[in-house]
Amino acid sequence: MDAVLGAIVGVAIATASDANDDVKWSKGSGPAQMAKGLPNPPGWYRAAVGPRSKDKVLYLTFDDGPSVHTASLLNALDRYDAKATFFVTGNAGMHKKQVRRMARRGHAIGNHTFNHLRLTQYPNKRVRSQLLGVKRLVGSDIAPCMRPPYGMIDARVAKTAIGLGFQPVMWTAHVEDWQPHSLQWTIDRLRQDTKPGAVILMHDTHSQTVAAVKAMLPKWEKQGYRLEVVPACR
Ligand SMILES: [Zn+2]
């Protein structure tokens, strides 16, 4: 059984490596760079999502949770049969019920490291323990993908993550919800970010983000958008 499993895992890793051969992972420099939508090394999208298509699909991604606002978000997503990708931290340990709900309802639970560290500043041993810590918490429901905190990733960190079975997933748009903005501003930003194949970065740790998503769900439905899990996280 173990040999069979090993063979399957081996094949999966080889495929991920091939897809990542063209990605020139560049080190981010934290929130300031993040606010400009960087870093987005060419190739990450194809490796994590696939070829860019004109299909009306959106990939909503929520980092840093779960939080006290996650339950309300999950209820809203359910009402529209919308699936999302959650990149959780060690917070998963305090919100195990929400993590189970995510899994049951068809969302993906990706890895955002246990302590939300700037991975590029730590040795591989620490990178591994951070990723494995979240994996241990979430158990078999963990998805085969990760998002580096602050978008900080380089070739070394990417290789380590991929070696553990976690494909890095960046974003094409974000709503800067770590800054204080009005609800309307956030909704407008989401509206602007609505493009075929967009990977939208948000945080389910802010009530206003959840409110903005709730306001957009009927609009997305009307526009014919499907909300799906990031392919690398399936
Ligand atoms: Zn984060």
Instruction: Round to whole Å and give the CA distance between 118 and 124.
Output: 12
The answer to whether 168 and 148 are in contact (CB under 8 A) is yes
The answer to whether 104 and 75 are in contact (CB under 8 A) is no
Q: What is the mean pLDDT of residues 67-87?
A: 98
Instruction: Round to whole Å and give the CA distance between 81 and 125.
Output: 39
Pairing of strands 108-111, 142-146: parallel
Which letter, b or e, does each residue of 203-217 get, where b requires 16 or more Cβ atoms within 10 Å of its Cβ?
A: bbbbebbbbbbbbbb
CATH value at residue 196: 3.20.20.370
Centre of ligand 1 to C-alpha 5, Å, is: 32
For residue 220 the two structure tokens come to 């997305």
Q: What was the pLDDT predicted at 24?
A: 77
Q: What was the pLDDT predicted at 43?
A: 85
pLDDT beyond 80 at 22: no
How does pLDDT run across 115-145, given as a tens digit for each residue?
999 999 999 999 999 999 999 999 999 999 9
Say how many C-beta atoms besides its own lie within 10 A of residue 185's C-beta.
16
Q: What was the pLDDT predicted at 10?
A: 43
- For residues 29 and 2, which has the higher predicted lDDT (pLDDT)? 29
226 pairs with which residues across the strands?
57
Confidence class for position 188, pLDDT limits 50, 70, 90: very high
Count: domains in the chain: 1
pLDDT beyond 90 at 32: no
Centre of ligand 1 to C-alpha 116, Å, is: 6
pLDDT beyond 80 at 149: yes
pLDDT beyond 70 at 33: no
pLDDT beyond 60 at 147: yes
- For residues 180 and 125, which has the higher predicted lDDT (pLDDT)? 125
* C-alpha angle 96-100-106 in degrees, rounded to nearest 5: 145
Using a pLDDT cut of 70, give the percent of the chain over it: 85
Domain encompassing residue 84: 2-233
pLDDT beyond 70 at 190: yes
Cβ contacts of residue 67 below 8 Å, gap of 6+? 91, 95, 204, 205
Centre of ligand 1 to C-alpha 56, Å, is: 26
Q: What was the pLDDT predicted at 15?
A: 54
Confidence class for position 34, pLDDT limits 50, 70, 90: low
Helix axis angle for 155-163 and 2-20, nearest 10°, is 160
In eight-state DSSP terms, residue 108 is E
Instruction: Round to whole Å and give the CA distance between 161 and 112.
Output: 11
Centre of ligand 1 to C-alpha 37, Å, is: 14
Specify the pTM: 0.89
Residues noted as catalytic: 63, 203
Q: Which residue has the tokens 């990417």?
A: 158
Centre of ligand 1 to C-alpha 19, Å, is: 25
